[in-house]
Amino acid sequence: MEGSGLVSDSTFLTVSKFLADPVPTVTGASSGFGRLMTELVLRKGEIAVATLRKPEAIADLSLQYGPDRLLVTKLDVTDGQEIKNAFAGAVEHFGRVDVVFNNAGYALFGEAEGMPDELARAAMEVDFWAAANVSRETLQVFREVNKPAGGFLLQVSSASALVGLPGLAYYCAPKHGQLDHCAVFTDDC
């Protein structure tokens, strides 16, 4: 997927204009946009914190870049304590967190009326609540840990936040909620 244009150099370069030697943290770094963003940051010569449920999924990047450039942290974004631990580990390792690429999530396909509650609730937990909880911890680190205070939160969402799609009710709903949460969260800050 490298060079696919899905995550462009300009996303990271725009942030780099404002920060010298930024410390980015990427959630959902095992595949998709998270993997692409992690690779992009590392290719640019920067350091990165990659969080994911199964660290072995990016063992190739760990070997290629080593612990001085890449901190790989196990993170299940539905576990509040693991979120806190991941940020604490990043701060301990690199001294701060300047950019968070809040990306972890998945699409749940199926007819809305036939979707089992446990699957629908699990999707809501990851695609809405986990993103909200990562955002809260991000803000805490930006305000209370970083000196000077501040940072960039890049929330990955979906066009389905704006337009519902058949078969994706339990993906569209949390993404729409995430969009509104981000708008209010930004105003609250």
Residue 157 annotated among the catalytic residues of the structure: yes
Q: What angle (nearest 5°) sits at the alpha carbon of residue 178, between those of residues 172 and 184?
A: 140
Residue 175 annotated among the catalytic residues of the structure: yes
Q: Which of 30, 135, 170, 175 is catalytic?
A: 175
Q: Which of 157, 158, 160, 170 is catalytic?
A: 157
Query: Alpha-carbon dihedral of residues 53, 119, 127, 49, nearest 10 degrees?
Result: 0
- The DSSP output letter for 148 is S
Positions marked active-site: 157, 171, 175
